Chains A and B, each alone.
Chain A
Amino acid sequence: DVKVTQSSRYLVKRTGEKVFLECVQDMDHENMFWYRQDPGLGLRLIYFSYDVKMKEKGDIPEGYSVSREKKERFSLILESASTNQTSMYLCASRGWGVAMNTEAFFGQGTRLTVV
């Protein structure tokens, strides 16, 4: 059974803290993604990575950075957490299929609250 695992289900952090959200996949996928989801705004792409040490900005990268040192692990970093980063964070992975049209597999999500 394919799996994308996020390190925490719920997280509460203080404003200004450095926050690490970890995501691990066991499918040997090249591509990994970080999204945040807010009511009325849907899933918004923060960053994605198509290979180890390779990353690209998504639609809302400000205030975030990422790290991909190993193929199976993709970390999202909030350098200095702010209350407007309170959200549900979702990690996803996908492989390279024929013509790259493969499905994405999602983790269970991390609900982050910044107080």
Chain B
Amino acid sequence: SQKIEQNSEALNIQEGKTATLTCNYTNYSPAYLQWYRQDPGRGPVFLLLIRENEKEKRKERLKVTFDTTLKQSLFHITASQPADSATYLCALEGVTGGGNKLTFGTGTQLKVEL
């Protein structure tokens, strides 16, 4: 069966350091992968999308890599700040009979400490 795995343990890092979050998947052949941020009590917000033919994508302090051989995406936040503290989710698309369903990993909670 299809699975998306993210580290369920919270990641605690110091302000200014680089945070690296991992998303592993099995039984998917995704054309692209998405990353979202979720704050407590709110819906997820889209951050980045990376396609299978893109090894790396950047947006300001965010960087995403996508290795379809390893079936893994890494999400990096450089020069992290306390405001980056949130849960980060990766998402993959699966093609069904009628439409495309979007499935999320369980998310990894990031805490950036002063």
Contacts and interface: CB of A to CB of B under 8 A. Distances in A.
Interface of A: 4, 31, 33, 35, 40-43, 45, 48-51, 54, 56, 58-59, 90, 92, 94, 99-101, 103-109, 111
Contacts of B100: 31, 50, 100
Contact of B99 (A4, A43, A56, A106): A56
B105 A42 contact: yes
Given A92-B43, A100-B93, A104-B91, 17 more contacts: A35-B104, A40-B8, A42-B104, A42-B106, A43-B107, A45-B102, A51-B98, A51-B99, A58-B101, A101-B31, A101-B32, A103-B34, A104-B34, A104-B102, A106-B43, A109-B41, A109-B42
A45 B101 contact: yes
B93 A59 contact: no
Contacts of B91: 104
B106 A50 contact: no
A93 to B, nearest CB: 11
B89 A42 contact: yes
B96 A56 contact: yes
Contacts of B51: 101
B31 A99 contact: yes
A58 B43 CA distance: 19
A24 to B, nearest CB: 14
Given A41-B106, A56-B96, A101-B51, A48 B101 contact: yes
A98 to B, nearest CB: 11
B102 A56 contact: no
A35 B36 CA distance: 15
B101 A56 contact: yes
A101 B43 CA distance: 20
28 contacts: A33-B101, A35-B104, A42-B104, A42-B106, A48-B99, A48-B102, A50-B98, A50-B99, A56-B96, A56-B98, A59-B103, A90-B44, A92-B43, A92-B102, A94-B102, A101-B31, A101-B49, A103-B34, A104-B34, A104-B44, A104-B102, A105-B46, A106-B43, A106-B44, A107-B43, A108-B43, A109-B42, A109-B43
